[in-house]
Amino acid sequence: MEYIGFLMFFAVMIGIALVMISLNWLFGPKTPQEYEDYPYECGVPLYDKCAQTTFHQGYYLLGLLLLLFDIEAAFLFPWTVVYRWLGIFGFIEMFLFILILTYGLLYAWKKGALNWQFEREEF
């Protein structure tokens, strides 16, 4: 019986929540909106009306490119901390690393992954 207070607290909590929601539902103004039921509500017409279908490939490309430069930054921070002791050797190593990453950017550029004006496709 020592937890009875806790149970009562729980019941009152649920009661208040239910009352609040039902008051809102009873007296609140209702203005139906076109974009109300969209999975991601941002005020502009969405690319796709439900979340279950496929996304445009461009999103994945964008995500991959973001990842590429995120990783670069993650490796640059510890390098800057110890740069003073690494000297010219550390400089060359990081130069090679960034050069290889730049190759990734060049590849994406050349293959048209940076061209984000996607043509709208029919659904």
Partner 1 sequence: MQVNQPIEAVEFPRLDVFIPELIVLITAFVIFTLDLILSSPMKRRILPIITATGYSLSLATVILLNKLKGDTFYKSFTADHLGTVVKTFEILIALTVIVFAQKYYSSRNSFYGEFYYILSFTLAGAMILSSSYNLIVIYVALELVSIGFYILTALLRNSFISKEGAFKYLILGGLSVALASYGAVFMYIYAGSLDLREILSYKGEDQHYLILGLVLFLIGFAIKIGAVPFHFWLPDAYQGAPTPVTALMASVGKLAFFIPIVRIMPLLREEFSDVWIITVGIIAAITMIYGNMVALVQKDIKRLLAYSSIAHSGYILAGIAVTEVIGLKAVVYFLVVYTIMAAGSFFVIALLERMGNWKNLLQDLSGMRFNLPFLALSFMIYMFALLGVPPTVGFVGKTLVFMALSFDKLWWLAIVMIISTGISTGYYVRIVVLMYMKDKEKEFSLKGTNPLEIISLTFLTLLTVGLAVMPELILNLINSASESLFLR
Binding residues for partner 1 (CB under 8 A): 81-82, 85-86, 89-90, 100, 103, 106-107, 110
Tokens 């430069």 belong to residue: 69
Closer to partner 1 by CB, 58 or 90: give it. 90
Closer to partner 1 by CB, 13 or 106: give it. 106
> Minimum Å distance from CB 87 to partner 1?
8
Six-digit token pair at 5? 């207070």
First and final CA of the chain: distance in angstroms? 61
> Minimum Å distance from CB 116 to partner 1?
20
On the CB side of 21, CA atoms within 13 Å amount to 5
